[in-house]
Amino acid sequence: MLSSARPRLLLYLCLPWGLAVENPSQSCGAGTCADERPSGVLPSEQGRSGADSSEVPQNDIQAWLCGFGPDGAELRLCYVTLLDVQQVLNHSCGFVNTSSPVRFALVRTHKTGSTTVSQAMIRSGMWLGLRWAGCGDRSRFVPHEHACNARNDSTRSQKHEGKYDFESRHTYDRDTWWTSEPYLEECDADGRHFERTLQGYEKQMGSDVQIFALIREAHSHLRSTLDFYQVPFAKFNASESLWNPLAKDFRLLQAEHVDEFLARWPFNRRGRLHVLVTEELAASMVMFRRTVNWSLRDVVFLSGRVTKRHGWVPEPASMPPGRLNWDERLNEVLRPLFMVELAKHQSDPSFQREVTALNRINAVLPQVCAQPQEGFVASVCDAKVENMKDGKKWAAKYRKFHCG
């Protein structure tokens, strides 16, 4: 009975306010329709991020999308129209950067949300006219020679200008990353492959390239990895080569590799090597966009992928020893580095509003993308991540139309 009554309640609540927004003079008088709705006058928020609210919409619903006012998400979402989203994305809620984009590379790890993040980067790279490193080859992955050649490269201290603007591909596929066995012999057998990958990025994007590494809490990362690849926990538990999947993705094959990796971080790249966190993806994306001089609309994302749970996984407290020790250690050291950088960004009063705006815009995209769109909104909806083929499709599209 409760479930059948709920839609009627929402319809009753949505229609009056929706009509009031269209005809405010008929329903609201000189005041606002509800105390929690923000006024049409939005404060200026211009700072180091390049945010400027001079172009922020004056519509109450659009102001809510832009991070003003309390959540009330379930009630608010039903008022949002395609026009609202178009207007909000047109000027990025005032979070617009007019500076030249900064070159960057995403160290893409498996089952951390990196496909969704990468898809947003590819989409916006096209829109912004950036040169993708994938234009230099036909591979789905970062060519291993970029890292392996750096092994014997004595030019680390030299300045490189770089040919490309960004990179966002995985470095390994499933058969070569989720294992304790070296794939590239000397190139990844000593735990230094990550650092060599950074050198490869610098050769391609320049010595001042900003580099972002995405991590995820160890237990949820394991569950997602097992579910996605349909590996039973019993098989994982019995095969030491599968333990600590996040560390394996960084090609840390021994406990000593993990210790050295963390001791050497940030590998003489302080201020250029950043940690992003799956559990704080919106904040991570806002940090990213402020670092590389993008606008808010460039980091909105839409994901329809839902991984079904295929089997039982013990709770963290019951996890057998050794299975996630390295991954937990990576989180213990790297996650606080993310929090330190986050705190610096939060010193800007506009930061939290931007995170709220990104969350709200992302939340309404599914209902907006369910109807016909055009322009920038259409490009966002078309970049929806539903399966692995989507990434291949966009890579092919980039090479065909934007590599030149």
C-alpha 34/C-alpha 25 separation (Å) is 14
Asked whether the predicted pLDDT for residue 4 surpasses 60, the reply is: no
Asked whether the predicted pLDDT for residue 24 surpasses 50, the reply is: no
Residues 183-192: what's their mean pLDDT? 86
> Which letter, b or e, does each residue of 120-136 get, where b requires 16 or more Cβ atoms within 10 Å of its Cβ?
bbbbbbbeeebbbbbee
- Assign 326 to helix, strand or coil: helix
Residues 276-303: what's their mean pLDDT? 96
Torsion of CA 239, 242, 243, 244, to 10 degrees: 180
**Mean of all residue pLDDT scores within the chain:** 83
Burial of residue 245 (number of CB atoms within 10 Å: 0-12, 13-18, 19+):
buried
- Given a contact cutoff of 8 angstroms between Cβ atoms, the answer to whether 316 and 222 are in contact is no
- β-strand partners of 166: 104, 132
Residues 162-189: what's their mean pLDDT? 87
Asked whether the predicted pLDDT for residue 317 surpasses 90, the reply is: yes
H or E segment and range at residue 246? helix 245-249
- Given a contact cutoff of 8 angstroms between Cβ atoms, the answer to whether 259 and 196 are in contact is no
Output the CA torsion sign for 217, 222, 223, 225: positive
Range list of H helices, 23-98: 24-27, 60-65, 73-77, 82-91
pTM, whole model, 2 decimals? 0.84
Residue ranges covered by each domain of the chain: 2-94, 104-350+392-401
Asked whether the predicted pLDDT for residue 352 surpasses 60, the reply is: yes
- The pLDDT of residue 350: 97
Detail the DSSP E strand segments found in 210-322.
Answer: 210-215, 273-277
Q: DSSP secondary structure string, 137-162?
A: ---SS--HHHHHHHTT---TTS----
Q: When comparing pLDDT for 161 and 51, which is higher?
A: 161
Residues 95-112: what's their mean pLDDT? 95
